[in-house]
Amino acid sequence: MDTELIRGARVSHERASVDQIEAAADADARSIVESLLDSEGVTEAFAIRTCNRVEAYVVAGSLEAARDALAPVGADVDDGVVVEMDHEESLRHLMRVAAGLESLVLGEDQILGQFKRAIEVAREAGGIGPTFETGLTKAVHVGERARTETGINDGVTSIGSAAVRLAERETDLDGETALVVGAGEMGKLAARALADAAVATVIVANRTLERAEHVVETVDVDARAVSLDAVDAGLTEAGIVVTATGYSEYLIDTDDIEAAGETLVVDLAQPRDVDPAAATVGGVAVRDIDDLESVTAETRATREAAAEEVEAMIDEEFDRLVEAYKRRQADEAISTMYEAAERIKAREVDTAVSQLESAGDLTDEQRAAVESMADALVGQLLSAPTKSLRDAAVDDDWSTIRTAMELFDPEFGGSDDGRKPGDPLEDSPDGRPDATRGAPDRGGNAPQADPGDDVDGDVNGMPRRLLEGTSDD
C-alpha cells in the first residue's frame, strides 16, 4: 500500500543558512512540483518555498521512486542540512509549518497564507490528489485553529516586523527615510512596521506600480510609490532599506549602492535581492534572515506557553489524520473485495434466475427473494474479512492489506497491459464480464463488479445494501 504514502525533504532555517537555502532549489514552487510529477512513479506532488525554507513532497509508487524524485532537493548543500521525512513525519511537519511552529518568527501569520497559496499552485500544476488533499486540508485546519484558539501570534508576528525591530537596534529610525523594495505581503508588513517605528517617509518600489501604490495607502506616514527603475535614487535618499521581492537575481549590487552613504540594508528575500558584496561598500551594512535570530528568539520565549498548546493540538489532530489514512487504506482493499464479490453474485443470480425461469415465469417477489439471499450470503461471508482488514489497518499490518488487494485484484501494483490499480476491466468477447480476473470464485476466477450492476449507491465502491448489514463487531 506504499502507493498511498507521502515522503518529503526539506531545507530550512533550522539547519541551513541563507546561502544553503538558496542553493537547495533554484526554481519556484510550481516548477518544483512539475519536476516532481515528471519523475517516474510519482502520482502527486507538493512544494512550498519561502524566504527561510524549501520543502518538497511526493506520493510515489515505491520508496525508491520517492527518494529518486526528491534527490535534487538539497543536492548542492552539505550533508546534514537536508531533512528527509517519511509519511507520518511529513504529515506532522506540514501541520507544524501551517501552525507557525516551524517559522523563524514563531507563530507568524504569513506562513499560513503562503501555505494556502502553495496548495493552489500545486493543484494548478496537477499535483494534488486524494492523498495530499486529505493531509494538506488537515494542515490548514490546524493552522487556523492555532491562530484562533491560542496566543501563538501575539506580539511580533512577521519577518517584516522582526526586520524593523532589528533595524531599531542598529540605527535611529526616528525621522528617517525608508525604502521598501517589493510590494508583496512581506513588503507591506515591513512598510507598516517602519511607519510605526516613526520614520518620516516610506518609499515603496515595485515592478508593478499599482501594487506599490496599494501598499502606500496602508501606511500612516508620508509615503510614495515608485517603479524598480527608481531604486537607485531611493538608495541615495534612504537610511534604511528593506528588500522582499521574488526575483531570481540581485536587484542591488555594489555599483547600485556606492553612492548611498550611511545605509542599513535588511534583505528578506529568498533568493536574495542584495549582493552580499554590497556590505564591502563603506558606510553600508547588510543584514539578512540569519541576522534576525536574536529578535526571533525573544518572540519565541514569550510564546512558549502558546506553542505548547499548539503542540497538543497537533498531537490530537495528527492522531485523527493518521487514523483517516489507515481507514482509507483498509477501505481500498475492502472495496476491491466487495467489487469482486458483487460481480460473482450478479453472474450467479443471473444464472439462477435463468434456470428458474426456464421452469416457469418468476414473480417480482421471487426474483427479489433470490437477490436478497445472494446479498445476505455476500454480506455474511465478507463480514469477518472486512473486520480483519480494518483491524490490520489499525495495527499497521500492511502486508495483510496488500495480500487482500493481490487476492481480489491480481492487477494490483501494475500490469503488463498498462492497466493501473482501480482501472475498469474489459468485458469478454461474449459481452459478459470477464471471469478470469478479480477474487477467486468456485472455479478459481473472480471478476470485479460490473459498472452496469445496480448496487443501490456505492460507498467507497461497496454496495450500500451490503454495508448496512455488515458489522465491525
Measured distance CA(412)–CA(415) in Å, rounded: 8
Whether a cis peptide bond, with omega within 30° of 0, leads into 271 is yes
Please say whether the beta carbons of 200 and 223 come within 8 A.
no
Report the Cα–Cα distance between both ends of the chain, in Å, rounded: 25
Please say whether the beta carbons of 251 and 274 come within 8 A.
yes
Cell of 206: 515595485
CATH architecture of 2-154: 2-Layer Sandwich (3.30)
Mean pLDDT, residues 335-359 taken together: 87
pLDDT at 228: 93
Spatial CA neighbour of 130 closest among 341, 390, 379, 327: 327
Task: Respond yes or no: is residue 51 known to be catalytic.
Answer: yes
Cell of 379: 454480506
Percent above pLDDT 90 for the chain:
50
Helix-then-strand count for the chain, H and E: 16, 12
DSSP assignments along 408-453, one per residue: H-TTTT--TT-PPTTPPPPBPTTSSBPTTSSS--TTS--PPPPTTS
Q: Is 306 helix (H, G, I), strand (E, B) or coil?
A: helix
The domain spans of the chain are 2-154, 159-296, 335-467
Could you read off the pLDDT of 297-340 as tens digits, one per residue? 777 777 888 999 999 999 999 999 988 887 777 787 788 888 88
| Least confident stretch, 33-37, 196-200, 225-229, 394-398 | 394-398
pLDDT at 294: 77
pLDDT at 27: 83
Please say whether the beta carbons of 216 and 225 come within 8 A.
yes
Measured distance CA(221)–CA(227) in Å, rounded: 19
Does pTM top 0.75 for this prediction? no
Whose grid coordinates read 526528491?
70
The DSSP code for 158 is: S
Count of CB atoms within 10 A of residue 388's CB?
Answer: 16
Please say whether the beta carbons of 280 and 90 come within 8 A.
no
Spatial CA neighbour of 138 closest among 109, 105, 97, 86: 97
CA dist 409 → 298, 346, 393, 448 (Å): 57, 18, 18, 8
Measured distance CA(303)–CA(290) in Å, rounded: 20
Could you read off the pLDDT of 128-141 as tens digits, one per residue? 999 999 999 999 99
Is domain 159-296 classified as CATH 3.40.50.720? Answer: yes
| Least confident stretch, 7-21, 214-228, 398-412, 429-443 | 429-443
Measured distance CA(73)–CA(54) in Å, rounded: 8
Please say whether the beta carbons of 76 and 45 come within 8 A.
no
For residues 438 and 48, the model is more confident at 48
What amino acid is encoded at 83 in this protein? V
Whose grid coordinates read 529610525?
173
Rounded to 5 degrees, what angle do the CA atoms 257, 261, 266 make?
A: 60
Q: Which of 25, 29, 51, 264 is catalytic?
A: 51
Could you read off the pLDDT of 367-407 as tens digits, one per residue? 899 889 989 998 898 888 888 888 887 777 767 777 777 77
For 74, the enclosing helix (H) or strand (E) is none
